[in-house]
Amino acid sequence: MTGRFNLHDPFQAEPMRLSRTALAGIAGSGQLPISPCSPLAVEPGAKDPAEPARAEALRALTPGSPVRQALEILAQPEALLHVNVATLTDPPAETALFLRGEWAAMGRLDGDEFHVGAPIGAELLASHLVRQLRGEEPPEEHRAALLWPSQIQFGDAIWSLVGRALNESVTQAEAIGALEDLGFSAEESVRNLECLAEVQFLESAGGSHRLRPPLDYWMELLRCGQAVTLEYVLLPEGGPVERVVFIGPPGRRVMHEVLGESEIARELPGVEPPEPHLVALTWLPAEALNRTIREFVEARPQQGA
């Protein structure tokens, strides 16, 4: 067993590494009943001699140790929390945290080693996530927006194909050419541009079009490729997956929600929706962000309970 826990900052800790054979020793000890949905339920390896593996398993099971606490969480998890962070420069980073009661621990198989993360209290976990998601208070016009998916698709396609920044104008000919590249006729392209202007997505004047401010700001966040996605799955798997998504670079992240029929009726009373879904982008002030994340990571009633 190698590695080092830093209980003052579990997120910076080096994970403990156990051999697959040691996992078999832990399972065979009878000290930790392992559920079928546990990440510890893996096929044993055969690299380590029996006696060293047995000693490794006993060290991991030392009563009262942080490693023992983490293994207890991983042996009988109640839920799984996926944390996926996408950036512009690196591949998406995903962490799987197994939750039991008010505690969480990372556990994953990496070749012939099993990595065990330090046990993390739910409050510390929520605080860490909030730090990744919070930002400075923006001006009023950058706090909330509602966009139809077709508006996002048309805006993204036109400005991407023309090759302009989102705060710059495109000419009528450039916009029509971009839409024709997508398969629309010239007549259909003109009508689509007129519709986007009618709903105040575009400002059209003098043979050119621009995204009506502050929609250029919101489109920039949607196109930036940076996001933090949290997924909560009750175990054993089979129930609904709860998901919360924040988009934008650090310091400017906003919640991204896709609203359905009932939610659209609440947000836009009396409006006949032209599409079945509506995208809501919302900056959350500190209190609302803390509440949202803490409620998201807290324990739920078990399935069948």
Torsion of CA 203, 209, 215, 218, to 10 degrees: 180
Q: What is the dihedral of CA 195, 200, 205, 208, to 10 degrees?
A: -70
CA distance 110 to 104: 19
Collect all residues with Cβ–Cβ distance below 8 Å to 243 and sequence separation of at least 6: 229, 230, 231, 232
Coil, helix or strand at residue 284:
coil
- Residue-wise pLDDT tens digits, 143-171: 999 999 999 999 999 999 999 999 999 99
> For residue 72, what pLDDT is reported?
93
**Length of the chain in residues, anyone?**
305
CATH number of this structure's domain 153-220: 1.10.10.10
Q: How far apart are CA 125 and CA 133, in angstroms?
A: 13
Please state, in angstroms and rounded to a whole number, the distance separating the CA atoms of residues 262 and 274: 14
C-beta neighbour count of 136 within 10 angstroms: 7
Q: How far apart are CA 52 and CA 196, in angstroms?
A: 69
SS3 content of the chain, % helix, strand, coil (to 5): 35, 25, 35
Show the beta-strand stretches assigned E in the chain.
2-4, 14-19, 79-86, 93-100, 103-110, 113-116, 120-121, 144-147, 170-171, 202-205, 208-211, 227-234, 241-247, 254-259, 278-282
Residue 17 buriedness (CB in 10 A; 0-12 / 13-18 / 19+)? middle
Q: Give the pLDDT score at 123.
A: 92
pTM (2 decimals)?
A: 0.87
How does DSSP classify residue 76?
Answer: S
Count CB neighbours of 20 within 10 A. Answer: 19
Whether residue 83 is predicted with pLDDT greater than 50 in this model: the reply is yes
Report pLDDT for 49: 45
Strand 2-4 with 14-19, pairing: antiparallel
| β-bridge mates for residue 229, sequence order | 84, 245
Sequence spans of domains, the chain: 2-76+94-130, 153-220
Q: Which helix (H) or strand (E) holds 162?
A: helix 149-162
**Which tens digits make up the pLDDT trace of 183-224?**
999 999 999 999 999 999 999 999 999 999 999 999 999 999
Confidence class for position 129, pLDDT limits 50, 70, 90: very high
254-305 pLDDT per residue, tens: 999 999 999 999 999 999 999 999 999 999 999 999 999 999 998 777 655 4
pLDDT, tens digit, for every residue of 11-56? 656 788 888 777 777 777 778 889 989 998 876 554 444 555 556 6
